[in-house]
Amino acid sequence: MTEKTIPLLPCHEIQPVVDFYTALGFETTYLQKAPYAYAVVRRGPVELQFFAMKGYEPSQSYSGCYVLTDDVDGLHSAFRAGLKAAYGRIPSRGLPRIGPLKDMSYGVRQFLMTDPGGNSIRVGQPISDDPSMRPVPKEPFARALHLADLFADSKEDLAGAARLIDRVLPPEHGHAPPPGGPAPTPVQHVRLLVLRADLAARLGDAPLAAELAARAAALPLGGQDRAAAADSLSRLAELTEPAP
């Protein structure tokens, strides 16, 4: 016997949701307008179904699903390219939006995206046989990065993630620590600055995002450190590229 689970997700209007998934490379296999709006989209083995609700507020949505893949980097790249072609930019805040790709502390490499209906779609690839949450580090900078990643790209509490980083970065967001005080490693320093810049951009504070990104770009990294900070450097390149 074979079973299959298909998420049924709410939205305010069907067409913007269909357009969004079309940009991601999904095929619309069913579209109904009456007696109520309903749509089915499919991309390979992934199928999602949507229904419209009167009075539904996408910004207040708690709906979502998790998609597991064996090529999360490829999907992230393809989805970003499709969104840029459809919207003229890669939306990182508001609705719809797509987040950065990163390794999470529970053994999954993932990214989050939210469709026009407010549904959070998590796309991940296991990178460990142990799916349990890793212990929270005691070292202050590693602890801040661990928790801020969870707040930003699992809980989706951007303001909470920003506060966690602000507690360990100097007030000037990236200047050298006071004499004798603890200092992050070069990789930690870049990751903290880039994540805080990313959060500022996603929260709509473009000047702060630009300032932090510039400071991160100015930090010297050796070859091994650059490899360890690859995801952060990729996000940094996006934050510093000229607007279209």
For 111-161, what is each residue's pLDDT tens digit? 999 999 999 999 999 998 887 878 999 999 999 999 999 999 888 899 999
Res 22: pLDDT = 98
Res 174: pLDDT = 43
Residues, the chain, total? Answer: 244
Cα angle value 25/28/29 (rounded, 5°): 130
Over residues 192-209, the mean pLDDT reads 93
Number of Cβ within 10 Å of residue 9's Cβ equals: 21
Res 181: pLDDT = 63
Over residues 185-213, the mean pLDDT reads 93
Helices marked H in 88-135 = none
Top pLDDT among 112 and 178 is at 112
User: Which one, of 57, 54, 53, 152, lies nearest residue 100 by Cα?
Assistant: 152
Q: Which two tokens stand for residue 227?
A: 């490899």
**Least confident span in 27-41, 100-114, 174-188:** 174-188
How many angstroms separate the Cα of 30 from the Cα of each of 36, 115, 172, 235?
13, 18, 53, 36
pLDDT at 92 over 60: yes
